A and B are shown apart, each in its own frame.
Chain A
Amino acid sequence: MHYDDICRFLYTEASLLDARKYEEWLDLLDDNIRYRMPLRATRDFKDPCDIVNDMTFFDETKQSLRTRVERLRTTSAWAENPHTRTRHVVTNILVTGENGPDEATVQSYVLILRSIRDKADVEQLFGERIDVIRRVDGSLKLMERTVHPDQTVLSMLNLSIFV
């Protein structure tokens, strides 16, 4: 799998999310996707693992993500009515593993800047994403996404967006 193809895939995904083209975004996800965002914790120096997998902010399947998208398309999903405006800044893309010619594990950094109504304050969410990307019938699909936020206490009021 070419590095350029992986970058193009992730940038395309970010562009669809920021344009709120969620149905097209869903098409990039494999039907068996596992989409998770575990909690970050502040740990003691001697406890190096600071990700808590038993609790998450998101633990989604394709079906539950589709339900979330359908909800955002109703007239009364107030968190996004009026919709908030985001920029998914995706950088530091590294291929950290390959499973044959058609599957790669990819680490990326994400910084989401979010503007809500007329507020001058910028809402931010940032962290790393570990994705499994596979070529299926000639096009890339997201098989798995794990988001590790850097904040232990999220400063965003809600996550009516996708990371």
Chain B
Amino acid sequence: MKYGKLDRSLLENVRAKVQRGLLPQWAFTDPDVFQAELERIFAKTWNFLGHESEVARPGDYVTRWIARDPVLLVRDAEGKVQAYLNSCTHRGTKLCTADFGNKKAFTCPYHGWTFNLAGELTGIVAGNKVYGKEMDRSQWSLRKIPRVESYQGMIFGSLNEHVEPLETFLGDMKWYFDLMLGRSDHGMEVRGIPQRWIIHTNWKISADNFGGDPYHTAMTHRSTVELGISPKDPMYASYGYQIVLDNGHGINIVTRRKDMNVPPFQGLPQAMWPMFERNLDPVQLDVFRNTMITVGNCFPNLSFVSPMHGTGGPDEPLTSFVNFRVWRPLTPTSIEVTSWLMVDKDAPEAFKEASYLSYVGSFGPAGTLEQDDAEIWTRVAEASQGWMTQDKDVHYNNVLNYLMGLDRVEPDPSWPGPGVAYPTCYLDAISRAFYERWIECLLDDAI
């Protein structure tokens, strides 16, 4: 038995296993894997930063993270969204410590260097006396996050100036983002601020859970079945499509069935339906009409869920919501969750309130569904740190099972939307695609 090193031949071996539905358990916890992920995934790809409604007016700002890089996201005086490394260019102090607010300028508490919304160094305490007129202040602007682009109000940043355009990276995920984010005339708004909390698990465990694992609902969330809130049929979350998209993205759409008496458009108010007809193309409209739940993951760590849920017991009406969350990697076995509730700006106030209560009741750290997810994800990380699971010699004893549907479930060519759609959500196709993308990224710069 060998503990082993993370070199190219090992990673190629892992790729071959992943393609056949086997993932070494050390992928969750190995410190070298984690370091490689920071370098080869989070520093290279697009990372979600926030929604345009969070920085609606000039001077509005929020502070965020890309893995370990602190980011200051602001709306500048011209109305353009800017993202800076949240670190003073003089001595590196974290410049802005507030979570959100509105400012005309940011002053560093260390020596008083001041930057405007355009990131320009506009003030230095005793500037000319100590640096002389020869110091070129334009050389000491805030450092920009190399690339910032947005789609449907979703602002992403990349630390890699050569990254592909955001819309290329999102690819066919854009079509599905439209259903959640682009269906109404004025788009979405974030309610309040995002919830944040820490879970002692690996970021891939949660991303994979949202991305490709409707199968877990029958057991992990069985308490809601016992309560009569969720259907007794253990296959209930499978009825629909698991859709594998490019670049490691994936989405599951649980569809409305006639015998379930679920209203169209996830129960969104009928007054909004004409907007959906205006903003979605006919194929999107038809798919959205019959959608009950969407849940998925945008590689690497932006997950989303839009279910219909009630909190008051079996007789309460179900209300949908749209939730996006980032699983920010802190260590191999800890993540900071940032979770945004979004709602259509054009929705009636009563719906916005009901949608909020539905979210808070079911998701977030106190949510009756999410409570159990967090507990179980910590148990995966907890059981993946010992010698047997860390053995790099990839063999039957240390790989996990991602075999569901492999060579068994064929794509459904009749699915009208983009991507490779399989006619069930109980399938590991998205997980396999997620880990294939993951291992390709790790192999990209491997020695």
Residue of A41, A44, A75, A156 ringed by the most chain B CB atoms within 10 A: A44
Give chain B interface residues in 86-114, CB to chain A under 8 Å. Answer: 97-101, 103
* B361 close to chain A: CB less than 8 A: yes
- Contacting pair A58 B199 (CB below 8 A): no
Give chain A interface residues in 24-75, CB to chain B under 8 Å. Answer: 37, 39, 41-44, 47, 52-61, 63-64, 67-68, 70-71, 74-75
- When the two chains form the complex, which single residue of B192, B219, B227, B365 contacts A74, counting CB atoms closer than 8 Å? B227
If A44-B98, A58-B360, A71-B368 touch, does A157 touch B197 (CB 8 Å cutoff)? yes
CB-CB < 8 A to B368: which residues of A?
Answer: 67-68, 71
* A158 close to chain B: CB less than 8 A: yes
Docked Cα-Cα span, A74 to B227, in Å, equals: 8
* B57 close to chain A: CB less than 8 A: no
Query: At the interface, is chain B mostly helix, strand, loop or mixed?
Result: mixed
* A160 close to chain B: CB less than 8 A: yes
- When the two chains form the complex, which single residue of B191, B195, B198 contacts A157, counting CB atoms closer than 8 Å? B198
* A159 close to chain B: CB less than 8 A: yes
- Contacting pair A41 B222 (CB below 8 A): no
- Contacting pair B357 A59 (CB below 8 A): yes
- When the two chains form the complex, which single residue of A43, A64, A67, A152 contacts B196, counting CB atoms closer than 8 Å? A152
- When the two chains form the complex, which single residue of A41, A55, A152, A158 contacts B366, counting CB atoms closer than 8 Å? A158
- Contacting pair B99 A42 (CB below 8 A): yes
**B202 CB, nearest partner CB in chain A, Å:** 14
- Contacting pair B366 A57 (CB below 8 A): yes
Interface residues on B, range: 35 or more
- Contacting pair A67 B312 (CB below 8 A): yes
CB-CB < 8 A to B336: which residues of A?
Answer: 153
- Contacting pair B196 A154 (CB below 8 A): yes
* A122 close to chain B: CB less than 8 A: no
- When the two chains form the complex, which single residue of B195, B198, B222 contacts A155, counting CB atoms closer than 8 Å? B198
- Contacting pair A56 B313 (CB below 8 A): no
**B339 CB, nearest partner CB in chain A, Å:** 10
**B400 CB, nearest partner CB in chain A, Å:** 19
Docked Cα-Cα span, A54 to B371, in Å, equals: 21
* B193 close to chain A: CB less than 8 A: yes
CB-CB < 8 A to B374: which residues of A?
Answer: 79, 157-158
Docked Cα-Cα span, A144 to B127, in Å, equals: 55
- Contacting pair A55 B197 (CB below 8 A): no
**B128 CB, nearest partner CB in chain A, Å:** 28
* A139 close to chain B: CB less than 8 A: no
Contact bitstring B355-366, A, C-beta under 8 A = 1, else 0 = 011001100111
**A120 CB, nearest partner CB in chain B, Å:** 13
Docked Cα-Cα span, A79 to B361, in Å, equals: 15
- Contacting pair A39 B193 (CB below 8 A): yes
- Contacting pair B192 A55 (CB below 8 A): yes
CB-CB < 8 A to A159: which residues of B?
Answer: 365-366, 371
**B185 CB, nearest partner CB in chain A, Å:** 22
Docked Cα-Cα span, A70 to B357, in Å, equals: 19
* B40 close to chain A: CB less than 8 A: no
CB-CB < 8 A to B227: which residues of A?
Answer: 67, 70-71, 74
Give chain B interface residues in 309-350, CB to chain A under 8 Å. Answer: 311-313, 336, 341
CB-CB < 8 A to A42: which residues of B?
Answer: 97-99
Chain A: CB-nearest residue to B63: A42
Chain B: CB-nearest residue to A53: B192
Docked Cα-Cα span, A155 to B360, in Å, equals: 18
Docked Cα-Cα span, A53 to B365, in Å, equals: 17
- Contacting pair B99 A78 (CB below 8 A): no
- Contacting pair B370 A158 (CB below 8 A): yes
Docked Cα-Cα span, A79 to B372, in Å, equals: 5
- Contacting pair A56 B375 (CB below 8 A): no
- Contacting pair A63 B198 (CB below 8 A): no
- Contacting pair A79 B371 (CB below 8 A): yes
Docked Cα-Cα span, A43 to B366, in Å, equals: 24
* B388 close to chain A: CB less than 8 A: no
CB-CB < 8 A to A64: which residues of B?
Answer: 311-312, 361
**B191 CB, nearest partner CB in chain A, Å:** 6
* A77 close to chain B: CB less than 8 A: yes
**A8 CB, nearest partner CB in chain B, Å:** 28
* B224 close to chain A: CB less than 8 A: yes
- When the two chains form the complex, which single residue of A47, A55, A160 contacts B341, counting CB atoms closer than 8 Å? A55
If A44-B103, A63-B312, A157-B199 touch, does A55 touch B371 (CB 8 Å cutoff)? no
Docked Cα-Cα span, A59 to B312, in Å, equals: 12
- Contacting pair A77 B372 (CB below 8 A): yes
If A43-B99, A155-B198, A157-B200 touch, does A57 touch B219 (CB 8 Å cutoff)? no
* B378 close to chain A: CB less than 8 A: yes
CB-CB < 8 A to A44: which residues of B?
Answer: 98, 101, 103
Docked Cα-Cα span, A74 to B372, in Å, equals: 13
Chain A: CB-nearest residue to B97: A42
- When the two chains form the complex, which single residue of B98, B222, B365, B366 contacts A47, counting CB atoms closer than 8 Å? B98
**B319 CB, nearest partner CB in chain A, Å:** 13
CB-CB < 8 A to B100: which residues of A?
Answer: 41, 43
| 21 A-B residue pairings within 8 Å (CB atoms) | A39-B192, A52-B192, A55-B193, A55-B360, A57-B364, A58-B360, A61-B312, A63-B312, A64-B311, A68-B368, A77-B372, A79-B372, A79-B374, A153-B196, A154-B197, A156-B197, A156-B365, A157-B198, A157-B374, A158-B372, A159-B365
Q: Which B residues fall within an 8 A CB radius of A?
A: 97-101, 103, 191-200, 219-220, 222-227, 311-313, 336, 341, 356-357, 360-361, 364-366, 368, 370-372, 374-376, 378
9 A-B pairs closest in CB distance:
A55-B192, A54-B192, A159-B366, A76-B222, A154-B197, A74-B226, A79-B371, A160-B371, A158-B371
